């Protein structure tokens, strides 16, 4: 009852309801697909883009600062409208992929037409004389777009002629995007039967966190059987997306290797990414050390893949939605009253979709949408501790995106290198609160082991997945299509290298590469998780040392969004991502948590 009074005392009325009732209200984007606003934006976007092009095409190199400001304001409004349309329909589709696929494709085609028409803006900017670049970027009235203007120039070596770029924009709707959509709809429509009961993907995978080892094993086997049924189609989809990336990004554009496009987009050097990955791989021994501890605590002779997320008995409980929203809100509120208010707004105004429903896409994400509206959070809540921390994670994204709405849509969104920072920081805040509220020593150890599960998955597993992704991209570029067996062989090699002999992967696990959407949605994405988590461990250590003085700088970092270079923003915290020391600092924090778990397990 004290917690409920705390809500009222703070003026934050959070509804008590089950997660099956937690569906979002998208009316802030559009009242509906039949609304006059939606229909008008759909109809007028191409015409507005054409009128814009008639006014400005071919003139950019001769514009005054005042004219350049006007051009960018109009361009920004077009990007805002297209992003608003795309966001709205994608959010509809992700909760019911069977019903909204046709509209999603139609919106993407309409947006592609507009993007093709206004493509001249970044292209003419790149080709403009260097003296114009210097004058425009330095102009005070360009502050709203300064970083976007500067960052766009980094793509100049990899940009084709306008006619070719227009073709690529139109092609995307029928090539990679189409195959990714097929993958998403295939996986979201899948139903798995266990003990006579139907399960969606997220519900079945949640059983891997169940206390019953037999249930975990059988859930794993049922999921593998489902992947086997879809293996030929999934293999073809992966090969097609890999080929598209290699041909479009590497061959046509001239990037030096498959990951280079993502690194340029993320505003990070190849060398910094390589340092991160190499540092983590050299510390795979931490993973082996952890799983040996887990094996001992579970009292098992050998661990298998279905034991990776096995909870200790003390946390074999489930969480209601009411409990989850309460603990997450309190964690953010105690860190920052402002952050607490933002999180509460997500609950109050129905900016979250947590219900598990037929046809709903798996996984979780936060959609930034457009600065003139607000973010939305998507997850599949099944009541596990992992789901509670996922809620905290996605709301961290939400806070980050909410604070950065002050910027132009062209530079409101942080690159992936910083995008995972606020989310993992929010997870840490929630975990620490859970730990503080737990008085039972065994339960505290179980919570710590659960957190270590997550940290290893976010740091080491994501780097191992990067190693898999690197292997399949190189194979596709150098040797052609991969068979299902070749995909699986690379998967098993890169995953087993992380576990060493501390955990046995059976042949059933060989197909588990095929359900992971990041490889298709955003090639090269996964290292950003390790990047963000290790940054957060270092930043959280600073927060513990500095206390309240840490908050203003951290808030400023989040509010900056994508308006400044990541390395410049992190310099305020004494962090240099080019140096191995920052990654070692994060790993040392992880090792200290593991040492604490080892100590608690012996007491």
Q: Could you read off the pLDDT of 121-176 as tens digits, one per residue?
A: 999 999 999 999 999 999 999 999 999 999 999 999 999 999 999 998 888 878 88
C-beta of residue 424 within 8 angstroms of C-beta of residue 558: no
The answer to whether residue 398 sits within a structural domain is: no
Which segments of 480-579 does DSSP mark as H helices, in order?
484-499, 518-521, 527-546, 550-559, 566-571
Domain match, 192 and 140 both: no
Domain match, 126 and 255 both: no
The answer to whether residue 232 sits within a structural domain is: yes
The C-alpha atoms of residue 423 and residue 45 are separated, in whole angstroms, by 34
Please report, for residues 58, 133, 156, 343, 419, the alpha-carbon distance to residue 124 in angstroms, rounded to integers and kept in the order given: 7, 11, 10, 41, 29
The answer to whether residue 446 sits within a structural domain is: no
521, 545, 571: which is the final residue of a domain?
521
Strand partners, 199: 192
The alpha carbon of residue 25 and the mean position of all alpha carbons in its chain are separated, in whole angstroms, by 22
Q: Which residues contact 343 (CB under 8 A, 6 or more apart)?
A: 328, 329, 332, 333, 395, 398, 399
What DSSP state is assigned to residue 504?
A: B
Domain match, 115 and 160 both: yes
Domain match, 186 and 154 both: no
The C-alpha atoms of residue 124 and residue 281 are separated, in whole angstroms, by 42
Sequence-distant contacts of 194-197: CB under 8 A, at least 24 apart: 194/218, 194/219, 194/222
Q: How far separated are the first and last CA of the chain, in Å rounded?
A: 34
The answer to whether residue 15 sits within a structural domain is: no
Domain match, 102 and 206 both: no
174, 194, 211: which is the final residue of a domain?
174
Strand partners, 367: 376
Which segments of 246-284 does DSSP mark as H helices, in order?
260-265, 270-282
Domain match, 283 and 212 both: yes
Please report, for residues 92, 114, 115, 534, the alpha-carbon distance to residue 54 in angstroms, rounded to integers and kept in the order given: 34, 13, 14, 48
The alpha carbon of residue 369 and the mean position of all alpha carbons in its chain are separated, in whole angstroms, by 14
Torsion angle defined by CA atoms of residues 349, 353, 358 and 363, in that order, rounded to the nearest 10 degrees: 170
Q: Which residues contact 78 (CB under 8 A, 6 or more apart)?
A: 45, 48, 49, 52, 114, 118
Instruction: Record the tokens describing residue 512, joined without a space.
Output: 């588990």
Domain match, 166 and 236 both: no
The answer to whether residue 293 sits within a structural domain is: yes
Q: Which residues contact 207 (CB under 8 A, 6 or more apart)?
A: 194, 199, 215, 216, 219
Give the pairing type, strands 365-367 and 376-378. Answer: antiparallel
Q: What DSSP string runs through 395-453?
A: HHHHHHHHHGGGS-TTS-SPPHHHHTHHHHHHHHHHHHHHHHT---HHHHHHHHHHHHH
Please report, for residues 14, 323, 332, 343, 418, the alpha-carbon distance to residue 1 in angstroms, rounded to integers and kept in the order given: 14, 12, 20, 21, 38
Residue recorded with tokens 């071919």: 58
The answer to whether residue 132 sits within a structural domain is: yes
Q: How many domains does the chain have?
A: 2
The C-alpha atoms of residue 61 and residue 126 are separated, in whole angstroms, by 10
Domain with 95 in it: what CATH number?
A: 1.20.140.70
Classify the C-alpha dihedral 493-494-496-497 as positive or negative.
positive
Secondary structure (3-state) at 299: coil
The C-alpha atoms of residue 149 and residue 145 are separated, in whole angstroms, by 6
Instruction: Record the tokens describing residue 112, joined without a space.
Output: 């592609």
Residue 144 structural domain? 27-174
C-beta of residue 116 within 8 angstroms of C-beta of residue 163: no
- SS3 letters across 229-247: HHHHHHHHHHHHHHHHHHH
The answer to whether residue 548 sits within a structural domain is: no
Q: Which residues contact 389 (CB under 8 A, 6 or more apart)?
A: 427, 430, 431, 451, 454
The C-alpha atoms of residue 305 and residue 545 are separated, in whole angstroms, by 38
Domain match, 186 and 300 both: yes
**What is the pLDDT, as a whole number, of residue 78?**
98
Q: Which residues of the chain have pLDDT under 50?
A: 1-11
Domain match, 157 and 198 both: no
Domain match, 74 and 165 both: yes
152, 174, 196: which is the final residue of a domain?
174
Domain match, 147 and 253 both: no
Domain match, 163 and 278 both: no
The answer to whether residue 424 sits within a structural domain is: no
């Amino acid at each position: 009852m004290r917690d409920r009074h705390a809500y009222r005392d703070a003026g934050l009325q959070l509804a008590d309801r089950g997660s099956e009732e937690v569906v979002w209200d998208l009316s802030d984007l559009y009242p509906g697909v039949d609304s006059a606003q939606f229909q008008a934006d759909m109809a007028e976007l191409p015409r507005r883009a054409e009128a814009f092009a008639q006014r400005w095409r071919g003139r950019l190199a001769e514009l005054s600062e005042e004219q350049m400001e006007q051009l960018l304001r109009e361009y920004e409004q077009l990007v805002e409208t297209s992003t608003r349309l795309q966001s709205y329909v994608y959010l509809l589709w992700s909760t019911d992929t069977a019903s909204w696929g046709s509209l999603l494709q139609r919106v993407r085609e309409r947006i592609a037409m507009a993007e093709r028409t206004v493509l001249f803006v970044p292209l003419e900017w790149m080709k403009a004389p260097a003296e114009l670049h210097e004058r425009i970027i330095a102009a005070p009235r360009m502050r709203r777009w300064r970083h976007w203007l500067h960052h766009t120039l980094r793509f100049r070596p990899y940009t084709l002629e306008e006619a070719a770029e227009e073709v690529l924009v139109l092609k995307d709707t029928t090539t990679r995007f189409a195959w990714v959509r097929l993958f998403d709809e295939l996986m979201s429509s899948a139903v798995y039967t266990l003990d006579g009961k139907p399960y969606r993907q997220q519900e079945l995978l949640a059983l891997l966190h169940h206390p019953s080892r037999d249930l975990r094993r059988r859930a794993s086997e049922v999921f593998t059987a489902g992947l086997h049924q879809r293996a030929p189609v999934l293999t073809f989809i992966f090969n097609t997306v890999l080929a598209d990336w290699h041909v479009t990004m590497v061959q046509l554009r001239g990037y030096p290797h498959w990951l280079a496009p993502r690194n340029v987009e993320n505003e990070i050097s190849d060398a910094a990414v390589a340092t991160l990955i190499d540092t983590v791989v050299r510390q795979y021994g931490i993973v082996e050390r952890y799983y040996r501890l887990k094996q001992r605590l579970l009292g098992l002779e050998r661990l298998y893949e279905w034991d990776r997320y096995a909870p200790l008995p003390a946390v074999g409980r489930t969480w209601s939605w009411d409990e989850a929203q309460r603990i997450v809100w309190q964690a953010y509120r105690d860190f920052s009253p402002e952050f607490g208010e933002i999180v509460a707004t997500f609950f109050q105004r129905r900016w979250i979709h947590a219900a598990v429903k037929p046809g709903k896409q798996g996984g979780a994400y936060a959609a930034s949408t457009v600065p003139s509206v607000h973010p939305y959070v998507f997850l599949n809540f099944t009541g596990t501790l992992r789901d509670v921390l996922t809620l905290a994670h996605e709301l961290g994204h939400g806070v980050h995106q909410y604070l950065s709405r002050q910027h132009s849509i062209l530079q409101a969104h942080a690159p992936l290198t910083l995008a995972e920072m606020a989310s993992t920081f929010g997870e840490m805040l929630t975990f620490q609160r859970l730990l503080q509220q737990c008085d039972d020593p065994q339960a505290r150890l179980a919570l710590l082991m659960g957190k270590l599960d997550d940290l290893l998955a976010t740091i080491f597993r994501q780097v191992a997945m990067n190693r898999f992704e690197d292997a399949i991209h190189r194979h596709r570029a150098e040797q052609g299509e991969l068979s299902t067996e070749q995909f699986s062989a690379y998967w098993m090699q890169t995953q087993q290298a992380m576990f060493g002999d501390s955990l046995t992967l059976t042949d059933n696990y060989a197909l588990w590469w095929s359900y992971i959407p990041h490889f298709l949605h955003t090639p090269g994405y996964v290292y950003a998780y390790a990047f963000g988590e290790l940054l957060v461990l270092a930043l959280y250590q600073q927060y513990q040392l500095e206390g309240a003085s840490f908050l203003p700088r951290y808030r400023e970092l989040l509010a900056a969004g994508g308006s400044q270079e990541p390395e410049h923003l992190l310099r305020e915290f004494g962090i240099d991502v080019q140096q191995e020391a920052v990654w070692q600092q994060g790993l040392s924090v992880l090792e200290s948590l593991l040492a604490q778990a080892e100590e608690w397990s012996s007491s």
